[in-house]
Amino acid sequence: MIRYNKALAQNTLMMVIINAVKIFSPLLILPFLTRRLSIEGYALVSYAQTTMAFFAGFIEFGFIISATRDVVEHRGKNEVIGGIFIRVQCAKMLLSLCAFLILVFMAISVPIIRDSLLYITIAFLATMLTSFFPDFLFRGLERMAIPTLCLAVTKMASIIAIFLFVKSDKQVLLVPSLELVSSFLIVAISLVFVKRNGIPLRVRSTFRSVWGDLVRSLHYFITTTSAKTISVITTYFIGLYLTVDEIAYWGFSMNLIMGIVSFYTAIANGIFPHMIKHRNLGIIKRLIIFLFPIVILGSAFCFIFAKPILVIVGGVKYMHAVTVFRYLVPMLVFTFPSVIFTYPVISVFGGIIHIRNTSLFTVAFNLVFVLLLIFTGWFTLYTVALVRVVTTMLTLTIRLYEFWRYAKGSASESKAWKRGYNVSESIYPLIG
pLDDT digits (tens, 9 = 90+) for 364-399: 999 999 999 999 999 999 999 999 999 999 988 988
pLDDT digits (tens, 9 = 90+) for 104-158: 998 888 888 888 899 999 999 999 998 898 888 877 777 766 667 777 777 788 8
- SS3 track for 328-394: HCHHHHHHHHHHHHHHHHHHCCCCHHHHHHHHHHHHHHHHHHHHHHHHHCCCCHHHHHHHHHHHHHH
Could you tell me how many residues make up the chain? 432
pLDDT digits (tens, 9 = 90+) for 255-273: 889 878 877 877 777 676 6
- Please tell me the pTM assigned to this model: 0.73
Helical (H) or strand (E) element with 307: helix 306-314
pLDDT value of position 378: 93
Low-confidence stretches of the chain (pLDDT beneath 70)? 1-27, 144-147, 203, 270, 272-274, 276-280, 343-344, 346-352, 406-432
Instruction: Tell me the Ramachandran region of residue 242: left when phi exceeds 0, alpha when psi lies from -120 to 50, beta otherwise.
Output: beta
Q: How far is CA 427 from the centre of its chain?
A: 29
H-state helical runs in 29-115: 30-36, 39-60, 63-73, 78-109, 111-114
pLDDT value of position 347: 55
pLDDT value of position 356: 76
